[in-house]
Structure formats: C-alpha cells, structure tokens
C-alpha cells in the first residue's frame, strides 16, 4: 500500500536546493527566485505548479508520489540495499541528511536506475500472500535477454486467452542475504474507461490499458519458487510451469507429490520449543490464532472448523492453548484428530536504542500461503519456520 501523499507536506519537508535542482532538470522556470524563498513557504511553489500545463503537472505529481513512497525507514533501507549496485558511500551521505524526504529525493535525482531498483525491492518487501512451491535446489536461473523475452512471450500467451496480455515487460534483479532471483513481470491488463478532463478542460471519457504486476522469486538454497499475483490455484500452477520452463530450463515441473510447503501440525504442541539464536534478538514467539479442521462425520456435508484467537491484550504465552484446552474439553475432541489449516504467529524483537519492541505478526495457511514479506525481520522469521519444520523446502 502506498504511503499517504500530501503535496504541501511533501514540499515542506523537502529542501529547496533539491526542488530547485529537480525543476531545472525538467526545464521548469519559476517567477520567484529560489534565493529569497523560505524553506517552509510552499504556497508560492503550489501556485507556480498550477500555472503549468496539465500533462507536465501530472508528470511532476507522479514523480513526487514515487519519492514520497520511498521517504520512510523501509524505503531508505531499500535504497541502501547493495544488490546489483556497486558499493558507494550512500550510507555516510544519508547520515548527514535531515530527514527521509531529503534522502529519497536526493537518490531520485542522483541515480534514477538505483531508485527504480530500490522501489521494486521496497514494493516486494511490503507484499504478503506469496504462493510457495518446491522446484529444485541450486538451479541456474536465466537472466539473459533471450530468456527474458521468451518468458515475456509465454506470459503474453497465457493472458491472451483471458482477453488481455497483448504486451508484457519483465525486469530481473538479484538480491543477496539470502540469495533471491527476482523477476517483476508487467502484463497488460483489461481496458478501463475513466472520466476526466483534457488539457482544454473538456469533460470526457478516456480508455486506457494499465499493467498489473506479477513477482516471481526463486530461492536457490531452499529450491523454492514463490509467486505474488492475482489468480486461483489453476492460474498459479500455469505461472509456475511457465517460470520453470523458460527461466529454470526444466523440461517439466518437478514432482512435488507429498511435499507440503507449510505443515502447521507442530503448532498443536503447547510445549513446542521455539528455539532462536541470540544474535537475532527475538524476545518471544507466540501463536495467536489456530484454525482447526474437524474430521467429517458420516453423512454430513461441508467442513467443520474451530477458530481460536487471542486478543492483543492477552500477552501470556499460553493464552491460546488455554482456549484450546477449553474447546477440546467442551466438545470431547481428541487433539490428534484435528488438522491445523491456518495459524497466526507473532515474533517480538528486543528493543534497540531504547525504542519500543518491534513485533512481526503474520498468517500461515495450509498448504502454501504465507503473509510474510521480504524485509529483514521477515527473513528472520522465514529462517525459523524452516528450522522448526513448519516451512518445507
């Protein structure tokens, strides 16, 4: 989700020297001199922007929204990510800047390609709902132009059957720590009609074809392919096959019979030892929700479930398991007969520099859904899900 944008707030927090540099680069000349302009007086800038042609003003507004989206802690961390970018002194430069607006705007002006790369990583780090499937460890992931063009063509053919996908573009990036091969695909979506005004102020409807986004991430150490995008099980299976054929060079999809990406059964054990390493500074691991599927009764149609959840106010580690005991006793159900189909977990990290403890809450759904994202704390959680036998390669 994009950060809330206000032009007035954005301009007030951005140094005038960067704004001056940006507008000069775009060939925009203002009537007021930047020399006499006060840093926090933005009314005159807004007034000057109103004088610009609609197309130019819209383009400037689009740039400012992109920069605003990166003007936060996670956006700055993405800008400092060295994946695919030569080492430099950006960290030292950022330390001397007054806020994240200045850091993001400076990066946008200094290295547009790196800014775009960081924007992709920042977006990827905020997404949950990944579909996970084992495809094979340490496979070679193609990134040459010929393979990417073949991948684009296969995605176009896939979506052309749905009446869209006439065009498609794919970007490839490599991330480290751990190694991830990331492919951002942008197929053409269905046409939409919007009401609006042209440059002469005439009210009219205009048709446009936007792109939608698919993200493919191959993790060679785990042998896992993760996909984020719209579509049901059949659609995801086709996308997995396209990726494996054109990027991983497989003749057919590997057999994953019996492989379950997420096995939540260990979470039935209230005494399960969530052991962690001291360097990861994890203060607590809690199970906050369990969805338990009950065995079907003869002649009964439909699925029976029990959902147990503790509120954020109850911080005792066994709060959910006390609810579980109560449910089992009330219904006379044997724990071994219940299948855990969904869980919510929470990691609490030790505070740093006197700040409030950071918490990370995420959902797991049998067999292949997880709302973990891709930022550093989420990577720590991913590591332990594998170690505890919840996530399988």
pLDDT given for residue 239 in this prediction: 96
Residue 148 has pLDDT above 70, yes or no: yes
Q: Which of the pair, 33 or 100, is modelled with greater confidence?
A: 100
CA distance 238 to 253: 10
Q: Which of the pair, 75 or 256, is modelled with greater confidence?
A: 75
Band (pLDDT 50/70/90 cuts) for residue 112 is very high
CA distance 203 to 369: 45
Least confident residue range of 51-55, 101-105, 119-123, 205-209: 205-209
The share of the chain scoring above pLDDT 70, in percent, equals: 93
| Most trustworthy range by pLDDT among 29-43, 257-271, 278-292 | 278-292
Residue 86 has pLDDT above 60, yes or no: no
pLDDT given for residue 247 in this prediction: 97
pLDDT given for residue 193 in this prediction: 82
pLDDT given for residue 55 in this prediction: 85
pLDDT given for residue 88 in this prediction: 64
Q: What is the mean pLDDT of residues 216-242?
A: 93
Band (pLDDT 50/70/90 cuts) for residue 257 is low
Residue 84 has pLDDT above 70, yes or no: no
pLDDT given for residue 303 in this prediction: 73
CA distance 330 to 349: 36
Q: What is the mean pLDDT of residues 346-375?
A: 89
pLDDT given for residue 244 in this prediction: 96
Q: Which of the pair, 198 or 229, is modelled with greater confidence?
A: 229
pLDDT given for residue 329 in this prediction: 82
pLDDT given for residue 386 in this prediction: 92
Q: What is the mean pLDDT of residues 103-131?
A: 89
Q: What is the mean pLDDT of residues 62-66?
A: 95
pLDDT given for residue 293 in this prediction: 92
How high is the mean pLDDT of the chain?
Answer: 88
Residue 195 has pLDDT above 90, yes or no: no
CA distance 367 to 327: 24
Q: How confident is the model over 290-317, as pLDDT tens digits?
A: 999 988 766 666 678 889 998 766 656 6
Q: How confident is the model over 14-48, as pLDDT tens digits?
A: 999 999 999 999 999 887 777 766 777 888 889 98
> For the chain, which residues make up each domain, given as ranges?
7-125, 130-246, 265-387
């Amino acid at each position: 989700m994009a950060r809330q944008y206000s032009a007035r707030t954005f301009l007030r927090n951005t140094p005038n020297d960067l704004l001056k540099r940006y507008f000069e680069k775009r060939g925009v000349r203002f009537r007021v001199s930047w020399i006499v302009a006060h840093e926090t007086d933005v009314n005159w800038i807004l007034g000057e922007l109103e004088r610009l042609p609609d197309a130019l003003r819209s383009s400037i507004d689009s740039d400012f929204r992109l920069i605003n989206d990166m003007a936060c802690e996670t956006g700055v961390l993405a800008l400092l990510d060295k994946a695919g970018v030569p080492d430099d002194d950006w960290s030292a430069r950022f330390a001397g800047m007054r806020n994240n607006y200045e850091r993001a705007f400076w990066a946008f002006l200094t290295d547009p390609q790196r800014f775009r790369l960081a924007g992709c990583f920042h977006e990827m780090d905020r997404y949950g709902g990944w579909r996970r499937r084992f495809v094979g460890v340490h496979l070679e992931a193609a990134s040459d132009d010929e393979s990417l063009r073949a991948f684009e063509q296969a995605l176009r053919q896939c979506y052309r059957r749905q009446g869209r996908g006439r065009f498609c573009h794919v970007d490839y990036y490599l991330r480290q720590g751990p190694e991830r091969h990331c492919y951002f695909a942008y197929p053409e979506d269905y046409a939409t009609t919007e009401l609006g005004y042209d440059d002469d102020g005439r009210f009219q409807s205009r048709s446009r074809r936007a792109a939608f986004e698919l993200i493919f991430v191959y993790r060679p150490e785990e042998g896992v392919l993760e996909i984020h995008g719209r579509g049901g099980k059949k659609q995801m299976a086709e996308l997995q096959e396209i990726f494996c054929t054109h990027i991983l060079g497989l003749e057919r999809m590997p057999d994953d019979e019996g492989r379950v990406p997420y096995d939540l059964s260990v979470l039935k054990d209230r005494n399960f030892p969530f052991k962690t390493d001291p360097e990861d500074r994890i203060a607590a691991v809690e199970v906050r929700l369990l969805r338990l599927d009950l065995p079907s009764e003869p002649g009964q149609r439909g699925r029976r479930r029990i959902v147990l959840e503790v509120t954020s106010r109850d911080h005792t580690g066994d709060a959910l398991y006390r609810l579980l005991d109560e449910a089992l006793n009330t219904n006379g159900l044997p724990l071994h007969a219940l299948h855990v189909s969904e869980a919510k977990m929470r990691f609490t990290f030790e505070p740093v520099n006197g700040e409030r403890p950071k918490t990370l809450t995420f959902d797991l759904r049998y067999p292949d859904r997880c709302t973990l994202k891709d930022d550093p704390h989420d990577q720590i959680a991913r590591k332990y899900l594998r170690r505890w036998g919840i996530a399988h390669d």
